[in-house]
Structure 1
Amino acid sequence: MTQSMTFSPYKKPFEERIMKWEQQLTLVSEILDQWLTLQRSWMYLEPIFSSEDIMQQLPLEGKRFATVDRMWRKTTDTAKRNPLVLKVCGNQKLLDQFVEANKLLESVQKGLADYLETKRLAFARFFFLSNDELLQILSQTKNPLAVQPHLRKCFEAIETLDFQPNLEITAMNSKEREKVPFDKPMMPTGNVEAWLGEVERRMRASVRHQAYASKRRPDWVRDWAAMVVLAVSAIYWSKEAEDAIAAGTVGAYAEKCNQDLLDLTDMVRGRLSGQDRLTLGALITVDVHARDVMQELVEAKIERPTDFEWASISYGYEYLGNTPRLVITPLTDRCYMTLMSAMHLNLGGAPAGPAGTGKTETTKDLAKALAKQCVVFNCSDGLDYLAMGKFFKGLASSGAWACFDEFNRIDLEVLSVVAQQILTIQLAIQAKVKRFIFEDTEIDLNFSCSVFITMNPGYAGRSELPDNLK
């Protein structure tokens, strides 16, 4: 309004008052802009720095926030007692205070981001948590039980840990209520990232510690954790199949596979606990495929173990809980073989096809077969290379698999940078280095990490992959 009045040919008698009002309203506008910016930052940081643990771990940032907090409360109290905008916002000194406070909070947020980065580098699975989730954990470091709600984002299947009254951790539990005791108990001492790292080591050691007892198959399948039953069954099937080929008894072994399957189906018809029924459902799914493979070997008249080569990748020992398995069709089999071949070449996989055809589930099921953590990430055109870089850091350091769903929804400009990020990780794996520089940060490298993408070609809003990503 005042700007319109300055262009009026009749402004001369009011020119001084117009200029005064314009200056005053401009000042009010600048103060309100700075005030709203400060309010957003304060509302985000205030719950964080109200935690004693965070204040102890970030003393410098805590002091800076406390300084801003006092000024903020004093200003809002003044505004409450005198709610007249021209009186409250007509002071240049207030604008200077807000500008300085915003600069201080920017430095606080940078310090907070650096602090979270150090925690993520100490425990790589923290890269898969948002800043808010990570801060919830770090703000309650004196209470290990506060970590429980966030375990599923850090581990593939650990829903809860068993804490004793003295806080000793003795076992892990899945969502399906399967319990696996730790091979030896542990205490959650030290920083949260340190004892969560120990939980990860205990998880792998405890899964490895599970044994294969010399009992009848229908008996031992009910004695152990589901993933151990599935893994050991696959190991024995591979060994026995190869021995049968070498001895020329493939037909007899195919009959044995069929009988094993019939034994399991007889068990399913009887009374079983919920856990046992889930385990047997997954085992029957895998056994059906094993029987079909042996039948194919019989029909192909395979006589020597050298007629084909087993594709193998090291077992990851990630606890998987008691979950169903994907039915393995000939198409699934071909997909598995292609992905395994790609991983032997230190490359990733890119299943493509229409929506709902099982691209993501196939990748996840292969990860289950190899006991790897598989993190599914739904892509959108709002992703930037910084968010993807954070994700890749966690991937490379933890050795997890990532499945980027609908990868070609990401903007082409971001895809080009992502291609370079993936190439950096692949080159480091090929060089077999233990640490490497990624996005200006030196991080650990776990060689078992792998990147998979799924795409729905031909849909609107999808990008073509850049040449350096194909």
Structure 2
Amino acid sequence: MERVSLVRKINPALANGLVEMWLKEVEGAMLDSVLNQLKKAWEDYYQGDRVGWVTSWPGQVVQGISCMAWTYEVEEAIEKKSLPAYVVKSTAQIGDLVRLVRLDLKSGLRITVEALIVLDVHARDVVKAISDLNVLSIHEFDWISQLRYYWHENEKKEEYVCVSMVVTDVKYGLEYLGNLPRLVVTPLTDRCYRTLMGALKLCLGGAPEGPAGTGKTETCKDLAKAVAKKCVVFNCSDGLDYKALGKFFKGLAQSGAWACFDEFNRIELEVLSVVAQQILTIQRAIGRKVVKFFFEDTMLRLDPTCSIFITMNPG
């Protein structure tokens, strides 16, 4: 369990008894609070010992800022041609965390450290790989094909975190997901990430396919964790009709959440044709950058960061 303070107080009485009004206020305060924590943790990162820093911030913030620090440090190492030295530093950082995780820690902190070790091991492997490939520029594909985190500014001079991979830039969702473990990244996971991020760039969804238990759903869920988005996993059955799925899509389009429809091929063919049209309507609305759109005779306010993934188990 961990506590994250809200940046401002919320008074439900001001919503005149409308639950959705004050919950909208809570959501806004949550997004601002996570961004505030990210900014403070980034300022604090180079102030002292990394192990001490890990133990003093929420798990999600630790994961995000560690990935961001790694991005900037690797780019600096590429420009200074000092990647082999950075491999040594990365290994030393993992050693520090391994020593920490062997101590008697509280369960929440243990989850944070374990998740960070998983991310750090992958990060070290990436640095070793690009060092062996003799990457000399931060614009080479071997580097830009990795998941990278940056601070950016928009037109209003507001700072935000951007998650980049190849040509795709996804704004960090700032959804507070809690203190969660992370997926071990294999070369196949990396390829899935590249494909899914490429799909997001084109305002499309992704459809990982393969035998049961190979991590299709977990990969979608972990990418959602990486960009701080709520991912709702929904197990499809042959009893589903287009009306039930239509209600689901209405919620997704308005909330900006991600959804992963598991075993999508179980849905009846007659229903699938209607569902394909429903998904196409949402994807077209995102592509046109509209604020509101018609969906099944209802005018909906669109959150363009929503996304729909399906997984299929052939045979």
% of aligned pairs identical? 57
> What are the superposed Cα offsets for residues 216-253 of structure 1, whole Å, 9 maximum, x if unpaired?
11001111110000000111111111111111111111
- Counterpart in the other structure of 2:97: 264
> What are the superposed Cα offsets for residues 127-162 of structure 1, whole Å, 9 maximum, x if unpaired?
xxxxxxxxxxxxxxxxxxxxxxxxxxxxxxxxxxxx
- Counterpart in the other structure of 1:178: 2
1:425 to partner: Cα distance: 0.8
Within a 5 Å distance, the mapping from 1:443-462 to structure 2 comes to 443-458=300-315
Gaps of 5+ in 1: 1-176, 459-470
1:185 to partner: Cα distance: 1.7
> What are the superposed Cα offsets for residues 409-442 of structure 1, whole Å, 9 maximum, x if unpaired?
1111111011111111111111111111111111
1:339 to partner: Cα distance: 0.7
CA RMSD between the two structures: 1.0
1:215 to partner: Cα distance: 2.3
Q: Distance in 1 between matches of 2:282 and 2:228?
A: 21
Q: TM-score, normalised by structure 2?
A: 0.88
- Counterpart in the other structure of 2:54: 221
Q: Distance in 2 between matches of 1:215 and 1:421?
A: 52
> Is residue 362 from structure 1 mapped to residue 195 from structure 2 by the alignment?
no
Q: Distance in 2 between matches of 1:392 and 1:242?
A: 40
More helix per residue: 1
Within a 5 Å distance, the mapping from 1:4-23 to structure 2 comes to none
Q: Distance in 2 between matches of 1:284 and 1:193?
A: 39
- Counterpart in the other structure of 1:441: 298
> Is residue 280 from structure 1 mapped to residue 107 from structure 2 by the alignment?
no
1:261 to partner: Cα distance: 0.8
Higher relative contact order, chain-length normalized (CA < 8 Å, sep 6+): 2
Q: 2:29 aligns with which of 202, 207, 210?
A: 202
Q: Distance in 1 between matches of 2:5 and 2:48?
A: 21
- Counterpart in the other structure of 1:247: 80
1:342 to partner: Cα distance: 1.0
Q: Distance in 1 between matches of 2:48 and 2:111?
A: 21
- Counterpart in the other structure of 2:263: 406
Residues 287-296 or 337-346, more deviating = 337-346
Q: 2:133 aligns with which of 296, 300, 306?
A: 300
Q: Distance in 1 between matches of 2:9 and 2:174?
A: 18
Within a 5 Å distance, the mapping from 1:302-451 to structure 2 comes to 302-308=135-141, 309=144, 310-311=164-165, 312-451=169-308
Q: Distance in 1 between matches of 2:36 and 2:48?
A: 18
Give the counterpart letter for 1:339 in structure 2.
L
1:195 to partner: Cα distance: 0.9
Q: Helix, strand or coil: the match of 1:181? A: coil
Q: Helix, strand or coil: the match of 2:280? A: helix
Residues 266-275 or 279-288, more deviating = 266-275
Q: Distance in 1 between matches of 2:91 and 2:181?
A: 21
Q: Distance in 2 between matches of 1:289 and 1:255?
A: 14
1:271 to partner: Cα distance: 2.6
Q: Distance in 2 between matches of 1:259 and 1:428?
A: 48
Q: Distance in 2 between matches of 1:344 and 1:194?
A: 32
Give the counterpart letter for 2:111 in structure 1.
L
Give the counterpart letter for 1:374 in structure 2.
C
1:344 to partner: Cα distance: 0.9
Q: Helix, strand or coil: the match of 1:185? A: coil
Q: Distance in 2 between matches of 1:254 and 1:433?
A: 46
Q: Distance in 1 between matches of 2:95 and 2:199?
A: 36
Q: Distance in 2 between matches of 1:338 and 1:254?
A: 27
Within a 5 Å distance, the mapping from 1:104-183 to structure 2 comes to 177-183=1-7
Q: Distance in 2 between matches of 1:390 and 1:320?
A: 24
Q: Helix, strand or coil: the match of 1:326? A: coil
Q: 2:123 aligns with which of 265, 282, 290?
A: 290
Q: Distance in 2 between matches of 1:429 and 1:241?
A: 34
- Counterpart in the other structure of 1:124: none
1:183 to partner: Cα distance: 0.9
1:194 to partner: Cα distance: 0.9
Q: Distance in 2 between matches of 1:282 and 1:188?
A: 36
Q: Distance in 2 between matches of 1:313 and 1:238?
A: 15
Q: Distance in 2 between matches of 1:274 and 1:385?
A: 43
1:364 to partner: Cα distance: 0.5
Q: Distance in 2 between matches of 1:215 and 1:345?
A: 41
1:287 to partner: Cα distance: 0.5
Q: Helix, strand or coil: the match of 1:297? A: helix
1:401 to partner: Cα distance: 0.3
Q: Distance in 2 between matches of 1:274 and 1:215?
A: 24
1:354 to partner: Cα distance: 1.0
1:455 to partner: Cα distance: 0.6
Aligned residue pairs: how many? 282
1:329 to partner: Cα distance: 1.0
> What are the superposed Cα offsets for residues 59-112 of structure 1, whole Å, 9 maximum, x if unpaired?
xxxxxxxxxxxxxxxxxxxxxxxxxxxxxxxxxxxxxxxxxxxxxxxxxxxxxx
